[in-house]
Chains A and B, each alone.
Chain A
Amino acid sequence: MMLLWLILIPFLGGILAWAFRGPHADAPRWVSIAALALDLPVLALACRAPSGAWLGRLNLPWIPQLGINFELGLDGLSLLLVLLTLLLGIVSVIISWTEITERTGFFHFNLMMSLTGTIAVFLALDLFLFFFAWEVMLVPMYFLIALWGHERRIYAAIKFFLFTQGSGLLMLVAILALAFVHQAKTGVFTFDYFALLGTPMAWSTEFWIMLGFFIAFAVKLAAVPFHSWLPDAHTEAPTAGSVLLAAVLLKVGAYGLIRFNMALFPEASKHFATPIMVLAVIGIVYGAVCAIGQRDVKRLVAYSSVSHLGFVVLGLFALTQQAVTGGVLQMVNHGLATGALFLLVGMVYDRTHTRQLDQLGGLASVMPWLLGFFLFAVFASAGLPGLNGFVGEFLVIVGTFAISHWLGAVASIAVVLGAIYLLWSYQRVAYGSVRDEHRGLRDVSAREVMVIVPVLALLLVFGVYPRLMTDSVDPATARVIEHVAPDHATDVVPGVEVAEPGSGA
């Protein structure tokens, strides 16, 4: 039952937030924070009913005529992602405190609905419910961008809507096709995840249905070449929207790849793995090259996301234990590091009212703390060892390297490119002489410190002691790999013959 409350609480919180609009602008904020904070102990309680590999399960009938159930499940993977969602949800509410002053009730309603949908996506084990939650997550985000965004918000919102709805439609078709194929084989019409898991299919059927899921998830994950909605959406969204997009909404794509794409279509995923990995590596480099050229800080961070998320895809499809776990870690790490970057860029924008790199500069001498935090996030994002960004990248590349030296080597170019765009942009924001109109800007406020410091602390903790995450993620990924590629070297150790013993002495 706790799983149901996990979804209901933010949902009710959202409705209350809207109800409490009116004279007191801060009421919706407090309601939202309270709902999200209340969800945290609920999440802890939800973990306490383990059954098999699952930490918690729930199955209620919903539309039994159509084989649709309200089926939820929580495992190490979804636990981590729900936790990330709640945490950054709270952060998003706090950071909007001064930025969003109009229609706060409706804003927080949308924010909470999007979070509700996201949590439901991470828990859903019924494909219809999954699709439903998927839509609940996306539509409010459209409003967040369209109503509270920056100058080109309408363009960005429509682009976001077209991309995600287009791909959502593909997913719906694929889900229905899968259910019908399953019915044809077994006579049972159902959307139950576990029932559909072992559906026997002709190879070509499996391939096409898989492709439908894959494209939907790839668009959500902003994988090249489906990435181009992301820079616009990120740039135009209000800070809270950017943070949520980066930290959570992009992650549902990767989550879908693991939970559904790879689990439902193991054969097709395995055969399709190499082209996907090549695409991922192209994305890693392409995103980084695009990021270097940007003049708008938010666009730059958005393109860096494209590059970093390429590592997620690469890791998942390399199908080695290290790479898949690394891919999952990269999801969380990217969420935290990029979330932090968007928060900080938002704070800078809040004060300077510009995101253009050539109109900033010298801010380190005006706001040493803000820019100090910024530097920390920049290095986490650049994958400095000791901070969390390094862990995911390193594991993904080490796992990929075991499969293909070339893909691993090309992906590691991003390490250099990342340093280029991050340090360059940091320099243009922080170093040099300060512009006259930026003198006297105030440094971080107590509220901002409260928001940013916990996130930065996590960047450090997960970098120094990543076992906090890997120990809960590892069993979940191990299951996936075993399912997808039982014959595959689940570990790099059983050894890939790389170099033949050479010509000898």
Chain B
Amino acid sequence: MAFLVLVPLLPLLGSALLILSEGRLPPRLVALVGVGSVALSAVIATWLAIAFLTGPDQHVTLTLWQWVRIGAFAPTVSLYLDPLSLVMMLVVTIIGSLILLYAVDFMAGDEGYSRFFAYMDLFVAAMLLLVLAGDLLALYVGWEGVGLCSYLLIGFWYQDPANGLAARKAFIVTRIGDTGFMLGLFLIFTQLHTLQIQPVLAQAQTSWHVGSLAATLAAALLLTGAIGKSAQVPLQTWLPDAMAGPTPVSALIHAATMVTAGVYLIARTHTLFALAPVVLAAVGVIGTITLLIAAFAALNQSDIKRILAYSTISQIGYMFLALGVGAWSAAVFHLMVHAFFKALLFLAAGAITMRLHHEHNIFRMGGLAKRLPLAFWSFLIGSASLAALPLITAGFYSKDAILSAAWAQGGGALLLWLGGIVTAFVTALYIFRAVFIVFFGPAKTEPSGRYSWRVAVPLTLLSVLALIGGLVETPPALGGITLFSRLLAPVFPNAPPPAPVALILFTAFISLLGLGLAYALYWQIGPRFIAWSNSPAIAAWRRFFAEGWAFDALYHRLVVAPFLALVRANRGDFIDQFYTGIAWTCRWLHQRLGALQTGRIRWYASWIAAGSVVTIAVAVLR
């Protein structure tokens, strides 16, 4: 199991090699190092997974070194492998390898080719540290590390200032959440005297009782970090802009892995969240609000990547919903399946744009089904999985698990269920809107070029995963396979009760209904519907939705503008004005007193006389 350290180390070495070679390596070698290091790491991860699952241990801890040792504060850097981190490790390495392989072609000819793979490898290393960390501090290091790589890769094409702005926004907004996370670490350490995850969780069980202030605060602070990283309301605004990065970046970082780190964090510390029912409820509510808001925003985008970005926010909302109702296993299940189909969707979208001269506007596409069959089928399969079309897609099983869990909890969770169902409908509607507009109707831009196997293989493999990847966990009525939840049972012992068959049928019906409506509106009625939706009243609403419910404008008014006004007002540093004032007073006095030195004897004499008179007067009158 000592080989575990190789899993994050290999990508890190790959990244270091690429950085230090300062872009002198030939592109083939860059690709070999960039993809090879992650692929090798995936092979080792798979091998470790087999060894772990056939072995006797329920978890493995690998302590690497002690970070500092100051009094009782002695955090270590350690790796921890249990079924949960195992799943995450496999998702990161395998999907990472596929996306990097794809990027070999996608990024071909870019002047930052080597830099791209260096950053991507660094990202994979940081992400693996995040999911494998056995210590909250090490987890935090990985957490900030992925944030760094996200920043670097969003601003990858830095000549355009807009990309730099998007990168900065992403880093700063997530850092607001991260600061809450860090405060959570402080609270946990000062209360429980350790940052090792498992001892923290065990001690929280014994020293905090359900609903206690400390547990609530700690959970709430961790949640702040999770919200920022996973782009949930109210810190969701950075993700749509993050699409400024190259498409493989969006696929890997802003869809499949990094943005789900918040879900992982909550799942990892779920026993702590169970001690804070208020916070847990907040998780569910935040998730539901987010998934609704983002779905409506996705419905009104014209940029294909922004559709997918809002869709990601919305789908992570589902994961939060699952966490909120205590369906930990379902949340992680959806995390995995979402990684499959969302990576697929992004890569398919990239496969379209790279053949259409980087055209992102869906209204300038059209008729691509015949012209780009590979991209079409991949995108279609991804969309079907996202829309949770029944039986044949992985997304159906994972989304169904979440909605069933919400239903089974009953009470207030039924509202969450309702939000989830409404969004399931809107999801099918928005993604098939994109499908119909992009792939059918008259062609508006002619594609050029062709795909190599490096694009085809990832798309095919991810398509397969997006279809059958859900068969590891099915409801009792549909075979009752429980492979996934049994795998995670050591981490998440209590599985929610299965849902009634009628509910499954209803969920399936809803997503088909969304598909049907999309077909009716965008394929059958087509232009007439679009004309209607452009009428002033509707268009105003659509703009509001398209701008992500105007959160950016709100924050600008409430936070950014006042803060910048303050900064500008104090540019001269008002404390310095005090010292400048002293200097100014001295100079003023100097001039005034200097003016008395006129050199005229008569003037001096009259002053002496006046002074004497005053002195005598004071002396006499006292």
Seen from chain A, the residues whose Cβ lies within 8 Å of a Cβ on chain B are 159, 224-225, 227-228, 231, 286, 289-290, 292-295, 303, 320-322, 325-326, 362, 364-365, 368-369, 379, 384-386, 390-391, 394-395, 397-398, 401-402, 405, 408-409, 412-413, 415-416, 419-420, 423-424, 427, 430-433, 465-467, 470-471, 474, 490-493, 495-496, 498-505
Q: When the two chains form the complex, which single residue of A286, A384, A427, A471 contacts B164, counting CB atoms closer than 8 Å?
A: A427
The answer, among A228, A368, A401, A491, for a CB contact under 8 Å with B186, is A401
A-B contact pairs, 6 of them (CB 8 A): A228-B573, A385-B140, A397-B182, A432-B164, A433-B161, A499-B191
- Please name the residue on chain B nearest to A471 by beta carbon: B69
**A427 with B168: CB separation less than 8 A:** yes
B484 touches A (CB below 8 Å) = no
In chain B, positions 144-199 with a C-beta closer than 8 Å to chain A are 144-145, 148, 151, 155, 158-161, 163-165, 167-168, 171-172, 175-176, 178-179, 182-183, 185-187, 189-191, 193
Q: Are B68 and A391 in contact (CB under 8 A)?
A: yes
Q: Which of A159, A365, A415 has the most CB of B within 10 A?
A: A415
Residues of A within 8 A of B214 (CB): 498-499, 501-502
A412 touches B182 (CB 8 A): yes
Chain A residues, CB < 8 A from B141? 385-386
**Smallest CB-CB separation from A503: which chain B residue?**
B211
Of A415, A432, A493, which is within 8 A of B159 by CB?
A: A432
* Contacts A322-B73, A493-B193; A364 near B158 (Cβ below 8 A): yes
Query: Is there contact, CB below 8 Å, between A423 and B171?
Result: yes
Query: Are B72 and A493 interface neighbours, CB within 8 A?
Result: yes
Give complex CA distance A349, B444 in Å: 50
Among B45-74, those with CB < 8 Å from A are 65-73
Known: A412-B183, A427-B168, A491-B71. A384 touches B148 (CB 8 A): yes
Contact A402 B68 (CB under 8 A): no
Known: A398-B186, A402-B190, A498-B191. A419 touches B171 (CB 8 A): yes
Residues of B within 8 A of A502 (CB): 209, 211-216
CB-CB under 8 A for A501 and B183, given A419-B172, A432-B164, A493-B193: no
In the complex, residue of chain A having the shortest beta-carbon distance to the beta carbon of B161: A432
With contacts A386-B141, A431-B159 taken as known, whether A289 is within 8 angstroms of B570 at the C-beta atoms is yes
A467 contacts B67, C-beta separation under 8 Å: yes
How many whole Å from A493's CB to the nearest CB in chain B?
4
CA distance A466 to B137 in the complex (A): 14
Which of chain A's residues have a CB closer than 8 A to the CB of B593? none
Contacts A409-B183, A502-B212; A492 near B567 (Cβ below 8 A) = no
Q: A504: which of B151, B165, B179, B211 is its contact (CB, 8 Å)?
A: B211
Q: Which residues of A contact B209 (CB under 8 A)?
A: 501-502, 504-505
* Contact across chains for A492 and B189 when beta carbons are under 8 A apart: yes
Q: How far is the CB of A411 from chain B (nearest CB, A)?
A: 10
Q: Which residue of A lies closest to B73 (CB)?
A: A322
Closest to A229 in B: B579
Which residues in A have their C-beta under 8 angstroms from that of B578?
225
Interface of chain A, main secondary structure:
helix
Q: How far is the CA of A424 from the CA of B161 in the complex (A)?
A: 11
Among B70, B187, B191, the most chain A Cβ lie within 10 Å of the Cβ of B70
* Pairs of residues from A and B, 10 with the lowest C-beta to C-beta distance, nearest first: A502-B212, A228-B576, A499-B214, A491-B71, A502-B213, A431-B164, A493-B72, A321-B71, A385-B141, A293-B571
Cα A354 to Cα B178 in complex, Å, equals 35
Q: Which B residues touch A465, using CB under 8 A? A: 65, 67
B40 on the A face (CB < 8 A): no
Query: In the docked arrangement, what's the CA distance between A362 and B148, Å?
Result: 20
Contacts of A398 in B (CB 8 A): 73, 185-186, 189-190
> Which residues does chain A contribute within 8 Å of B571, judged by CB atoms?
290, 293-295
* A135 smallest CB distance to B (angstroms): 22
B566 close to chain A: CB less than 8 A:
yes
On whether the beta carbons of A395 and B172 are closer than 8 Å, the reply is no
Complex alpha-carbon distance, A383 and B259, angstroms: 22
Contact B186 A499 (CB under 8 A): no
Residues of A within 8 A of B69 (CB): 467, 470-471, 474
Q: Does B568 contact A (CB under 8 A)?
A: yes
State the CA gap A441–B575 with chains docked (Å).
39
The answer to whether the Cβ of B110 comes within 8 Å of any Cβ in the partner chain is no
**Contacting pair A369 B22 (CB below 8 A):** yes
What number of B residues sit within 8 Å (CB to CB) of A? 64
Query: Looking across the interface, which residue of chain A has its beta carbon closest to that of B275?
Result: A505
**Do A505 and B70 touch (CB < 8 A)?**
no
Cβ-closest chain B residue relative to A501: B212
Determine if B374 is an interface residue (Cβ-Cβ < 8 Å). no
Residue of B at shortest CB range from A434? B159
Cβ–Cβ contact A420 & B172, under 8 A = yes
Contacts A379-B148, A492-B189, A505-B211 known; A432 to B168 CB distance under 8 Å? no
Q: In whole Å, how far is A97's beta carbon from the nearest beta carbon of chain B?
A: 23
Bound CA span A495–B155, Å: 44
- The chain A residue sitting closest to B569, CB to CB, is A293
B456 located at the interface, meaning its Cβ lies under 8 Å from any Cβ of chain A in the complex: no
Do the beta carbons of A227 and B216 come within 8 Å of each other?
Answer: no
User: Which residue in chain A gives the minimum CB-CB distance to B143?
Assistant: A385
Q: Is the CB of A466 within 8 A of B68?
A: yes
* B217 interface hit (Cβ, 8 Å): yes
- Alpha-carbon distance between A224 and B69 when the two chains are bound, in angstroms: 31
User: Using a CB-CB cutoff of 8 Å, which residues 198-213 of chain B contact chain A?
Assistant: 208-213
Is B171 a contact partner of A498 (Cβ separation < 8 A)? no
Q: Which residues of A lie under 8 Å from residue B72 when comparing CB positions?
A: 491-493
**Contact with A415, one of B143, B175, B568 (Cβ below 8 angstroms):** B175
* Bound Cα distance A383, B217 (Å): 24
Greatest chain A CB density within 10 A among B73, B143, B176 is at B73
**B168 contacts across to A, CB distance below 8 A:** 423-424, 427
Q: How many angstroms from the CA of A385 to the CA of B571 in the assembled complex?
A: 30
With the chains together, A502 CA to B219 CA distance in Å?
14
B70/A325 in contact, CB under 8 A: yes
- Most chain A Cβ neighbours within 10 Å, of B22, B182, B566, B571: B182
CB distance A431 to B161 under 8 Å?
yes
Cβ of A289 and Cβ of B189 under 8 Å apart? no
Which residue on chain A has the smallest CB distance to residue B195? A398
Q: What's the nearest-Cβ distance from chain B to residue A290, in Å?
A: 5
**CB atoms of B159 and A499 under 8 A apart:** no
Nearest residue in B to A231 (C-beta to C-beta)? Answer: B573
Q: Are B144 and A385 in contact (CB under 8 A)?
A: yes
- Minimum distance in angstroms from A248 CB to a CB of chain B: 24
- For the complex formed, measure the closest distance between the CB of B556 and the CB atoms of chain A, giving whole angstroms: 15
A454 to chain B, nearest CB (A): 15
Using A365-B159, A492-B73 as known contacts, list a sample of 6 further A-B pairs with CB atoms less than 8 Å apart, ordered by residue number in A: A322-B71, A379-B148, A427-B155, A431-B163, A431-B164, A502-B212
- Which chain A positions have C-beta within 8 A of B210? 505
Give Cα distance in the complex from A386 to B574, angstroms. 36
The residue of chain A having its C-beta at the shortest distance from the C-beta of B115 within the complex is A368
Contact B175 A416 (CB under 8 A): yes
Contact A395 B186, beta carbon cutoff 8 Å: no
Decide if A397 touches B67 in the complex (CB within 8 Å). no
A379-B148, A432-B161, A503-B211 given as contacts; is B172 within 8 A of A416 (CB)? yes
**Chain B residue contacts of A397, Cβ below 8 A:** 182, 186
Tell me which residues across on chain B come within 8 A of A496, comparing CB atoms. 190
**Which residues of chain B from 442 to 498 have a CB within 8 Å of any chain A CB?**
none
Do B575 and A321 have beta carbons less than 8 Å apart? no
Q: Given that A293-B570, A423-B172 are known contacts, is A415 also in contact with B182, CB under 8 Å in the complex?
A: yes
- Closest residue on chain A to residue B160 by CB atoms: A432
A408 near B164 (CB under 8 angstroms)? no
**Chain B contacts for A386, CB-based, 8 A:** 141, 144-145
**Looking at the complex, which one of B71, B148, B160, B567 makes contact with A292 (CB distance below 8 Å)?**
B567
CA distance A386 to B383 in the complex (A): 39
List residues of chain B with CB within 8 A of the CB of A495.
Answer: 190, 193
Whether A430 contacts B158 by the Cβ 8 Å rule is yes
B324 to chain A, nearest CB (A): 19
User: Inside 8 A of B576's CB, which chain A residues have their CB?
Assistant: 228, 231
Q: Which residues of A contact B137 (CB under 8 A)?
A: 385
- Complex contact B573–A290 (CB within 8 A): yes
Are the C-beta atoms of B213 and A499 separated by less than 8 Å? yes
